[in-house]
Structure 1
Amino acid sequence: KKQNVLSKSAAAKAVDETLKRSVLTTTSHSETTEYYTGPLPHPDALKKYDEFMPGLAERIVRMAEKEQAYRIDTTNREEDQKDKLLKIAEKESNHLIRAQSWGQLIGALISFSCIGIATYFAFTGAAWEIVIGFLAVPTASLIAAFIPRKGSNESSGKRGAKQEKED
């Protein structure tokens, strides 16, 4: 058994010696990948185009410049159109608000006038039919204000929600 242990350690020593004597060489490999994006081909490709047909690279650059100018012009025109539409919508909104305000003011004046006239007739001893007739106008307008209209946004929105549930 002792010889076996000695032979193993001798073998291990031989391997160690071999490793010490051998020169370990390492090799490395590097790879470069290049990505190029943009409206124009890579400069090396442009150079090859120009070698293939003189002046072709310049034509390609000119074409890219024209395309960029067209895109800028289109974007500017779209922004101008959006600004014009916003101004029109703002004017329409202001007109609508003004019209609604005038309508409310006139409605309030009519209602208060009817109430005032009904009060006057009531104190002067006029027939009760006349007093009730003048009070009916503001009462009817108040009731009409709370009844939804068929063409209004609120009622059509509710109808749309009901139709979606049914589907």
Structure 2
Amino acid sequence: MEAARLTVEQAWAGPLPAPGVLEQYERVLPGAAERILRMAETVATGNIRVTERQAEAEIRTAQRGQLLAAALTLAAMTGAGAFFLLGNQVAGIALLSLPLLMLIRSFLMRS
């Protein structure tokens, strides 16, 4: 009868090799562990910078959208006021409904 074979597997996840493997690198090539650590730090720093830039771009996009919405609202309200002064109630109400619909939409999108 054959003896049962036992297989042992080891797994490691992360930006750095397992400590034992890192030690082996250092034995084979002195200074390799330091270089590997520096490389991992550089990658982590780069990822942080990319994330920061993405967040800044999203903020700028949101600010532009808010400015555009404010300008459009102001233009619609000014036009509505002008139509009301000229006696065209239908056009005034139509233009006044635009900012109101945008306001309702913004509140609904937050929920």
Structure 1 portions without partners, runs of 5+ = 1-26, 113-137, 146-167
Is 1:102 the equivalent of 2:78?
Answer: yes
* C-alpha deviation, 1:104, in angstroms: 0.8
Aligned equivalents of 1:104, 1:34: Cα separation in 2: 72
Is 1:47 the equivalent of 2:42?
Answer: no
Who is 1:85 aligned against? 61
Secondary structure of residue in 2 paired with 1:67: helix
Secondary structure of residue in 2 paired with 1:41: coil
Aligned equivalents of 2:85, 2:6: Cα separation in 1: 89
Who is 1:57 aligned against? 33
Q: Percent identity, aligned pairs only?
A: 28
Secondary structure of residue in 2 paired with 1:38: coil
For residues 82-117 of structure 1, the C-alpha deviation after alignment (integer angstroms, 9 at most, x for no partner) is: 11111111011111111101101101111x2xxxxx
* C-alpha deviation, 1:30, in angstroms: 3.9
Aligned equivalents of 1:50, 1:70: Cα separation in 2: 25
* C-alpha deviation, 1:79, in angstroms: 0.2
* C-alpha deviation, 1:32, in angstroms: 2.3
Aligned equivalents of 2:8, 2:71: Cα separation in 1: 66
Aligned equivalents of 1:75, 1:47: Cα separation in 2: 32
> What is the TM-score with the length of structure 2 in the denominator?
0.71
* C-alpha deviation, 1:28, in angstroms: 6.1
Length, aligned pairs only: 92
Aligned equivalents of 1:105, 1:33: Cα separation in 2: 76
Is 1:33 the equivalent of 2:9?
Answer: yes
What RMSD in Å do the two structures reach over aligned CA positions? 2.4
Aligned equivalents of 2:80, 2:6: Cα separation in 1: 81
Letter in structure 2 aligned against 1:53? L
Counterparts of residues 1-167 of structure 1 (less than 5 Å)? 30-110=6-86, 112=87, 138=88
Who is 1:129 aligned against? none
> What is the TM-score with the length of structure 1 in the denominator?
0.49
Aligned equivalents of 1:82, 1:103: Cα separation in 2: 31
The structure with more radius of gyration: 1
Letter in structure 2 aligned against 1:76? E
* C-alpha deviation, 1:31, in angstroms: 3.0
